[in-house]
Structure 1
Amino acid sequence: MKLPYAWLWVSALLCSPLGFAKVADQTVSGKIANIELSVSKAMAAFQVPGIAVAIIKDNEVVLSKGFGVLKQGSKEKVNADTLFGIASNTKAMTVALLSALVDEGKLTWKTKVIDIIPAFQLPDAYVTREFTIIDLLSHNSGLGLGAGDLMIWPETTLSNQDVIKGLKYLPQVSSFRSEFAYDNLMYVIAGEIIAKLTGKPWQEVIQSRIFEPLGMDNTRATFSLIPKSNQNVARAHVLLDGELHVVGGNFLERFSSAGSVASSVNDMALWLKAQLNLGQYGVDGVKALRLFSEQKSHEMWQARTLLPVSSQASEQDKTHFYAYALGWFVKDYHGVKVVQHTGGILGMVSKVVMVPEENLAMVILTNQQSGFAFNALSQQILTEYLEQPKKDWVAHYARLQKKNNANKKAQLAKVAAAADKSSTLSLPLASYAQSYVDDWYGEIAISLENNHLVMQFANTPILHGTLGHYQHNTFIVRWDDRTLEADAYVNFNLNPNGSISYVSMKAVSWATDFSFDFHDLKLWPKSSGQ
């Protein structure tokens, strides 16, 4: 049945030298129209004020466009030059800088971290001694998911040196190199290594070695480096109880190499072209210009730490393997290899996807923290360009969001119902009001104000909240800034004599961002001298 139609198509091409171009143009325009329609639907379904998308196919930018507004309620439009926080999509750039230094012989992937940063120390002496640059980038340290992130996010007064000092006090939850656990702190250390080997701050190195060579003229290493004259900057939004709230200020300024870059889809398209071209970004006479060697490109995309494959991914995406490489996640998707990463800061999320064998790449930048939105759009783009069966991905992820929200609501209701309303405190309220110290984070103060306990993280101004009694000697701290969505249990553990031994914490909701690693804290009363 298909043969006659194929023959008519070939006949048309033979009759007109422009026939193939016309068909190709119609195909491209059809794909782009479907994608733009999905963007509009996603913005409505997930309440995202602004989105920017770029797509690269066969070394050409086939789409680079902004949609919506910089800030909810404003008239300033998002365009292809609008700056967004790309967050953890910065990590691939940090890896690229290290790759170039490996090319130059400044170090190898097997170089021990302590040979460059002698102060580097993990809980286990063997792991400390054997920890290599590859390990630094592979999320296989044996520390827990997001371990120590409270040292860097939300915005803190701590420094990279404080991060290095705190590492040895973090709990080790698995064997070295045995399991994947996403770890921002190791990429902070990676930035310190780049600074040590180049003699320049990471922010200067990325500017001179990536942004300037590629012509990423609007991109900046941190938000604070954006010129005041450039007002084309997206504002971050958090959806809370159905309403959008404008937020800002948590851009990892002090911990840049883990996720501080501000960029646009026009500039990110230049970065992705260089990635698809295996590090090459131009030709100077007969000599190709490179960020890093072709060999390093392959090494960056090589699986290092395996992750489990969900039944949903197996069925939906035909995924058989999933792993972290170096600054990138890698997996198979309907028979092709996909290289990707996401990024998230408070109120902004982003996604970058490459399909090297199809010479295809995309970047999706948003000013609202809905992963459902960027997943729907990335799936739509892959469906169009890999010619998969048509599917309404926005509707699919809208259903998942509805289910997810219902599950969160049910869990929080279960938490409230489980409290023993008849339980009482073991101590007078004033006895809980003390200064406490954690070995890796530092000081946390609990004070008594107007007959209520109030908690303040000394190094994190935004973590200020009121403790409400939950049951027995357990409270729930409810942060003043409700957009954090990170309320936590505060449990006071007592000595046999009734004094406070230590305080532990844990997020109330399973949906709390993993970077709020309250569970890694062990707070000793400062007066105990622990």
Structure 2
Amino acid sequence: MKFMLALALLSLPAALAAQAPVPSDTPGKTASGISYTQPRDWTMTVKGSATIFAAPEANLNIAVVDAGEAESAQAAAAKAWAAYRPDAARTVRLVSPAARGDGWDERVGIAYETSPNERATVSALALRKDKGWTVVITDGAESTANKRSAATSVIQGSLRPAGYAPETFAGKAAHRLTPDRIQAIRDFVAESAKQLEVPGVGIALIDQGKVVWEGGVGVREIGGNEPVTAHTKFMVASNTKGMATLLLSVLADEGKLRWDQKVTDLYPAFRLGSDAVTQSTLVRHLVCACTGLPRKDYAFILADAGAPASDTFRQLAETQPTSKFGELFQYNNLMASAAGYLGGSLAYPKMELGAAFDKAMQTRIFGPLGMRDTGFDNAAAEKGDWARPHGLDVDGRMVEIPNTFNHLIVPHRPAGGAWSSAADMARYAQLELSKGLTPEGKRLVSEANLLERRKHGVPIGENGWYGMGLMERVVSGVTVVTHGGTLQGYHSSFFVLPDAGIGAVILTNADPGASMIAPYLRRLLEVVYDGKPEAAQDVAAVAARIKAQAQARRAKLTVPGDPAVLAGLATTYRSQIDGKISFSDRGGAKWMKAGFIEGPVATRKNADGTVSIVSAGGGAIGVEAVVGSKDGARTLTVRDSQHDYVYTEVR
């Protein structure tokens, strides 16, 4: 299929506009009996074999197509496109296996070519049961897909073949984590790390309030021989958010704040977009991921180093929500950062914001909880027993990467700047299991204010809700309290099963470690409840997909970059608010520096004829800039799903 840019995303099937949206998530079935859930406020149209769900913005569709028998996943996808949008023409970029599950015998992901200027998301997921295929097509604006991620998860997560009864552990007694069961989990982690080429993993397991095992698998850095231990320090990234809301819980116990108090009552300088939005923002809104603020991470990824903690509040003042309070799940790091700094200012009002937060966390949380490996000092953390970050290079090989990139979180560290260890994260999980008691039995926080963080807020997908720095999910009938964290080369998560009295921690030091997180929970549930053995196949599928994705990305890049394109670049480009992008020659190669991203440069020809400059250093987080011009000046445009960052040459 040849790509044609003229097929505008906004020209989606017109029939959808006539449908009435549903007032709440509504279950249903396709003509062949495939079950689904139609999200609240979305419309639904049946067009032959296609059941088409349309977002309220009318620029994003998810089509569930009964494709019937086909010789392959790609053939099934071609039939699905013919039923959904016969006028569409897209080039397949990548076909990769996905893990089986939810009654499907085979799952295959298909990605299609798009250009950065389109701001489009176009993909298909082919699901096979016996000989019949069901294909899920996602087609529309990237900004809406990001904004409506919870709703798209509801649709995709609810799809199950006719007659399938989901596995459930509801009402089953949990097995205790005996030595043989602990060993089964440790063996799974070791094998998963090997398949995903993750150098080191820290884990901890808790049962009935006690740590039954803590330690590590693998090494702190690739090529080294120093093992990961229970006290090896990793960056835990967004797991810092739950720690920061724990600080707010303690301050609520002290009478220094109320969850439903206006932020401006406590911090008068706070501003968010308009005056009306500012005055509507309560303390709980800072950490609920429900205020309608989109992610704006490039604002600090591309920023110059050295910003103060107060920069969080400057950026929020320049940001306007894109949906109403409480309407949608939209994850925003700046709001969580503001929450932590608010807590610091209430605890130590005469100190600088960052220093006040650091001291408040040490005196109110880390110290009393006995988290001796945990803190925010990068210089101190990057000594002794610490895990180095790793990622894939441009050729898909695992390499150690500098941790300087992750220093970008310093000005916004309440959202993700903490270092911790498996041993310390176990103590944090124990506090959640005991509803506010330290492992030694001392009350750190009231049960009421600890549990306030778990109250169901906005949905994040099927049977999942965001609270305040924590998520709660119902997985196979089991309640799970959790949160994850991601930085360059670091991925972390913890899981608490309140009804079973069981907890688990996982910390990894490589980007593919992100793919261990969900299977780790699955393996825990298999061991505790005698579940079907699916976790191992999930890891195998994702390992194959990571390799395929790396190969597909490399095939599109010119490395080193196209000499003609590189010769046409200016030395320095500057944005009015986001710092600068500069280029230099190092050892005969062109290098880029864009905020905290630094490395060699590759180029890529896009489907619409434009050319992108792509950072080609190791790690999953990079920068891609479309080469252009405006008013006779050379420009580079960096985009995320909802923002444009335009850089103009410095003459």
TM over 0.5: yes
1:292 matched to 2:442 = no
Q: 1:447 to 1:271 in 2, by over 3 A?
A: closer
Partner AA of 2:638 in structure 1? M
2:617 corresponds to 1:481:
yes
Query: Structure 2: how far apart are the matches of 1:261 and 1:36?
Result: 25
Which residue in the other structure is 1:367 paired with?
Answer: 509
Match for residue 158 of structure 1 among 307, 312, 315: 307
Structure 1 residue 94, shift from structure 2 partner? 0.3
AA at the equivalent of 2:643: D
Matched residue, 2:370: 215
1:325 aligns with 2:467: yes
Normalising by structure 2, we get a TM-score of 0.64
Match of 1:382 among 510, 525, 535: 525
Residue of structure 1 equivalent to 2:143: none
1:7 maps to none
- Is 1:243 aligned to residue 243 of structure 2? no
**How many Å apart are 1:88 and its aligned residue?**
1.1
- Following superposition, the deviation at residue 100 of structure 1 comes to 0.8
The 8 Å contact of residues 372 and 398 in structure 1, kept in 2 or not, is answered as no
Q: Map Cα deviations across residues 108-158 of structure 1 (whole Å, 9 max, x no partner).
A: 1112223333333223332222111111101122222x2144315788332
Equivalent residues of 1:149, 1:185 under 8 A apart: no
| Distance change (3 Å), C-alpha of 1:153 and 1:65 | farther
Residues 352, 361 of structure 1: 8 Å contact kept: yes
Question: Structure 1 pair 194/456, CA: closer, same or farther in 2 (3 Å)?
Answer: same
Deviates more, 1:210-219 or 1:164-173: 164-173
CA contact (8 A) 1:69 1:76 kept: yes
Instruction: Report the CA distance between 1:465 and its aligned residue.
Output: 5.9
2:166 aligned residue: none
Q: Report matched runs for 1:9-408 at 5 Å.
A: 28-144=178-294, 146-151=295-300, 156-170=305-319, 172-199=321-348, 201-226=356-381, 228=383, 231-240=384-393, 241-247=395-401, 248-249=403-404, 250-251=406-407, 252-281=409-438, 289-309=442-462, 321-369=463-511, 370-385=513-528, 387-403=529-545, 405-406=547-548
Q: Cα 1:176–1:438, aligned 2, differ >3 Å: closer, same or farther?
A: farther
The letter for the 2-side match of 1:305 is: V
Identity %: 26
Match of 2:67 in 1: none
1:365 maps to a residue whose letter is: L
Please give the secondary structure, in 2, of the residue aligned with 1:219.
coil
- Give the secondary-structure state (helix, strand or coil) at the position aligned to 2:201: strand
Q: Structure 1's 236 and 266: CA in aligned 2 closer, same or farther, altered over 3 A? A: same
Q: Give how far 1:503 is off.
A: 5.3
Q: 2:494–2:503: 8 Å Cα contact kept in structure 1?
A: yes
AA aligned opposite 1:235: R
SS at match of 2:499: helix
Query: 1:68: Cα distance to partner?
Result: 1.2
From 436, 444, 469, the equivalent of 2:580 is 444
Q: Pick closer, same or farther for the CA change 1:239–1:152 going to 2, 3 Å.
A: closer
Query: Bigger shift: 268-277 or 158-167?
Result: 158-167
TM-score, with length taken from structure 1: 0.77
CA distance in 2, matches of 1:235, 1:452: 26
Deviation at 1:87, TM superposition (A): 1.2
Residues 433/333 of structure 1: CA separation in 2 closer, same or farther (3 Å cut) = same
CA shift for structure 1 position 341: 0.8
The change in CA–CA distance for 1:445 and 1:371 in structure 2 (over 3 A counts) is closer
1:79–1:524 CA distance, 2 compared to 1 (3 A)? closer
C-alpha deviation, 1:189, in angstroms: 0.8
Which of 90-99 and 120-129 deviates more?
120-129
> Residues 342 and 349 of structure 1 are in contact (CA less than 8 Å); yes or no, is this contact kept in structure 2?
yes
Deviation at 1:322, TM superposition (A): 0.9
Equivalent AA in structure 1 for residue 474 of structure 2: D
| Residue 493 to residue 324, structure 1, CA distance change in 2 (3 Å) | farther
> Could you tell me how far 1:99 is from its partner in structure 2?
0.7
Shift of 1:195: 1.8
Q: Give deviations 1:427-486, integer Å, cap 9, x for gaps.
A: x947x66643243x3x324569799997643xx243466484747894312225343552
The answer (yes or no) to whether the contact 2:583–2:590 under 8 Å persists in 1 is: yes
Q: 1:481-526: per-residue Cα shift (whole Å, max 9, x none)?
A: 34355241325363xxx435975323xxxxxxxxxx4862343648
CA distance in 1, matches of 2:194, 2:585: 43
Equivalent pair of 1:452/1:467 in contact (CA under 8 Å)? no
Unpaired stretches in structure 2, ≥5 consecutive residues: 1-173
